[in-house]
């Protein structure tokens, strides 16, 4: 049975690590099965198919990131109630979150299927790729209900301090996804739709497992289908915290879509190579995801319990860990980039584009990690507008402005490589200034927190 894991007691470092490490393992497997799609497609189909699968990521994440951003808001509110010891409000928030997830999943399915072809054309997707990209995305969005509801239900578990069971779910679904990828694509030679179908079926398995867990628990986060309804008080706060998080994801993914349209102008090899580089970056980014989620829950529970001393200690520890881990991983990626890209496709031109981007970005991964971890802390503190605005300006406006002004006169793929580190540096400086203004690491209690 699930038990509430209060992060308001015990060593902050141990609590954060015990929470973050299973998340890290889980997201490793999730990233693995996302990458397996590209690996199997790239090796068993052709370069056009690899471009079709990898070049759709920014658009997919734009829609999915918006609706799943609300699961972060739900997790913050539920964690606050748990930290404050309010069982009744916890129950109301849990069932409001589930009701919201049902509405958002239906919306995502309809919108994703209807607008896919025109969006791909607006992104300048080449004619040789657009048909297969559309086919891949239609299958993916047809099954997006499972992904949205899984994320919402997992946010409930994680708000209670539970991170081990989601790891088991992701391990199981990853193994199923890999097996189905091999069957559909490598054995039955189904085109890109086979890779999408394998992903959807594995997500359905994840949803069933986590729903089963919540239906069986005896704690205040127990899921009772008859109680699924909107509680307006909790809905208001979920939307207040969830909407800025959803918009933050949207503006990042929107900028990535516009960058993808710029990449598309360099042709299929650039699309495939840079898409493979982004898949590798996804693995490097896993520690950030783990510590970010752990810190949001840790900070939220301790804010609910009014333990600001623990908030400061946990924040400092999380920021140091992510920066150090990504610095080490970045050095590894910097020197192994050509071999990593070759796993996806051995074409020399694809390797040149992919390794070129990874070589430039790798040593700046620590700044990327700092910015995302700082965003998680801000959300836990109840300041979701700050990360939204930082990302809107630094990661969206600046990137787009550079590519569609300088990029028009200096049409060079190296501009795409360098626009990422430049904006990661910019957002890191903004967060450092904001932390100093808030006196987050001061020993004196600060009313601004």
**How do residues 18-64 score in pLDDT, each as one tens digit?**
888 887 877 777 667 667 767 777 777 777 777 777 667 667 777 77
Hey, which bits of 151-220 come out as E strands? none
pLDDT band at 448 (very low <50, low <70, confident <90, very high): very low
Calculate mean pLDDT across residues 177-205: 86
Burial 280-317 (b: 16+ CB within 10 A, else e): bbbbbbbbbbbbbbbbbbbbbbbbbbebbebbbbbbeb
Dihedral in degrees, nearest 10, Cα atoms 363, 369, 371, 372: 150
Q: Is 445 helix (H, G, I), strand (E, B) or coil?
A: coil
Helix segments in 265-307, DSSP class H: 268-284, 286-304
Is residue 149's pLDDT more than 90? yes
Is residue 444's pLDDT more than 60? no
Q: pLDDT per residue over 217-231, tens digit each? A: 878 899 999 999 999
The pLDDT, as a whole number, for residue 33 is 65
What are the φ and ψ backbone dihedral angles of 419, each rounded to 5 degrees? -70, -30
State the sign of the Cα–Cα–Cα–Cα dihedral 211, 215, 218, 220: positive
pTM of this structure? 0.72
The pLDDT, as a whole number, for residue 133 is 83
The full set of domain ranges for the chain reads 12-438
Is residue 1's pLDDT more than 60? no
In percent, the amount of the chain with pLDDT more than 90 equals 22
Calculate mean pLDDT across residues 332-345: 88
Q: pLDDT per residue over 318-327, tens digit each? A: 888 888 888 9
The pLDDT, as a whole number, for residue 4 is 59
pLDDT band at 441 (very low <50, low <70, confident <90, very high): low
pLDDT band at 380 (very low <50, low <70, confident <90, very high): confident
Give the tokens for residue 169. 């779910």
- When the pLDDT of each residue in the chain is averaged and rounded to a whole number, the result is 84
Q: pLDDT per residue over 246-288, tens digit each? A: 887 777 777 777 788 888 888 888 888 898 888 888 778 878 8
Q: pLDDT per residue over 166-189, tens digit each? A: 888 888 888 888 889 889 888 888
Is residue 446's pLDDT more than 50? no
49 or 2, which is more confident = 49
Residue partners of 237: CB distance under 8 A and separation at least 6? 73, 77
Give the tokens for residue 186. 């490598």
Q: Is 309 helix (H, G, I), strand (E, B) or coil?
A: helix
């Amino acid at each position: 049975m699930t038990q509430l894991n209060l992060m308001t007691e015990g060593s902050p470092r141990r609590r954060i690590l015990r929470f973050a490490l299973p998340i890290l393992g889980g997201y490793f497997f999730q990233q693995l099965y996302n990458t397996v799609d590209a690996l199997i497609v790239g090796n068993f189909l052709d370069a056009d198919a690899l471009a079709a699968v990898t070049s759709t990521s920014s658009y997919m994440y734009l829609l999915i990131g918006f609706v799943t951003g609300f699961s972060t808001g739900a997790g913050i509110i539920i964690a606050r109630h748990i930290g404050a010891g309010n069982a009744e409000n916890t129950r109301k928030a849990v069932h409001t979150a589930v009701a919201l997830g049902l509405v958002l999943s239906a919306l995502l399915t309809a919108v994703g299927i209807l607008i896919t072809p025109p969006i791909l054309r607006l992104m300048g997707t080449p004619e040789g790729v657009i048909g297969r990209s559309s086919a891949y995305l239609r299958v993916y969005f047809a099954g997006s209900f499972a992904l949205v509801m899984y994320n919402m239900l997992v946010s409930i578990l994680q708000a209670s301090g539970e991170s081990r069971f989601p790891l088991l779910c992701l391990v199981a679904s990853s193994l199923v996804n890999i097996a189905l990828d091999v069957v559909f694509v490598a054995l039955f030679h189904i085109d890109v739709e086979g890779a999408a179908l394998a992903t959807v079926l594995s997500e359905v398995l994840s949803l069933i497992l986590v729903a089963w867990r919540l239906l069986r628990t005896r704690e205040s986060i127990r899921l009772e289908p008859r109680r699924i309804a909107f509680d307006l008080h909790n809905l208001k706060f979920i939307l207040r915290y969830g909407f800025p998080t959803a918009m933050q994801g949207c503006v990042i993914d929107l900028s990535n879509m516009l960058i993808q349209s710029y990449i598309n102008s360099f042709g299929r090899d650039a699309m495939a190579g840079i898409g493979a580089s982004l898949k590798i970056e996804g693995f490097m980014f896993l520690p950030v995801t783990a510590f970010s989620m752990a810190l949001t829950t840790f900070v939220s529970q301790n804010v609910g319990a009014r333990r600001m001393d623990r908030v400061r200690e946990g924040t400092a520890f999380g920021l140091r860990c992510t920066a150090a881990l990504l610095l080490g991983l970045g050095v590894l990626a910097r020197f192994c980039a050509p071999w990593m890209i070759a796993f996806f496709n051995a074409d020399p031109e694809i390797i040149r584009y992919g390794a070129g981007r990874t070589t430039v970005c790798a040593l700046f991964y620590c700044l990327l990690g700092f910015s995302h971890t700082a965003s998680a802390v801000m959300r836990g503190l109840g300041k979701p507008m700050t990360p939204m605005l930082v990302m809107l300006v630094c990661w969206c406006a600046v990137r787009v402005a550079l590519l569609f002004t300088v990029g028009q006169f200096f049409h060079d793929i190296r501009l795409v490589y360098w626009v990422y580190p430049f904006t990661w540096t910019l957002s890191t400086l903004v967060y450092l200034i904001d932390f100093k203004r808030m006196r987050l690491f001061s020993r004196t209690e600060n009313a601004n927190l």
